Amino acid sequence: MTLVLIAIGAAVGAPARYLVDRCVQSRHDSVFPWGTFTVNMLGSFLLGLVVGGAGAISPGVTALLGTGLCGALTTYSTFSYETLRLLSTGGRSLAVLNVVASLAGGLGAAFAGFAAATAIWG
């Protein structure tokens, strides 16, 4: 049953990643990967929220949301590819910014989600 819940979460997370990425990126006239950055920050926050509330929510819901939804919503491979693409096109400073902002922002978003869950479910 857990595998089915993960698959359902992934079936929602993957199209959500695509839609959010395209929506955000279409609003920016920049080579910086704002869409990928946004889905990774959103996924990090949601995963922090799920992990922080793990004692209050069932293991099945944790698998659905944490592994399935967040796993398919976030994308390390696209982050890596876009960083390499920035480097290869002469955007060294944007590549460095992408790495630093993604790591710091992702950790910060996960911490914020965890803190929010702790405040909600104590």
Binding residues for Na(+), as ranges, are 71, 74
* 28 vs 23: CA distance, rounded Å: 9
Residue 121 is inside which H or E element, if any? helix 92-121
* 78 vs 112: CA distance, rounded Å: 24
Binding site, by residue number, is 71, 74
Q: Which residue has the tokens 């293991």?
A: 59
User: Residue 1: which residues within 8 A CB-CB, separation 6 or more?
Assistant: 60
Structure token pair of residue 106: 């992702």
Residue type for 117, please? A
* 24 vs 44: CA distance, rounded Å: 17
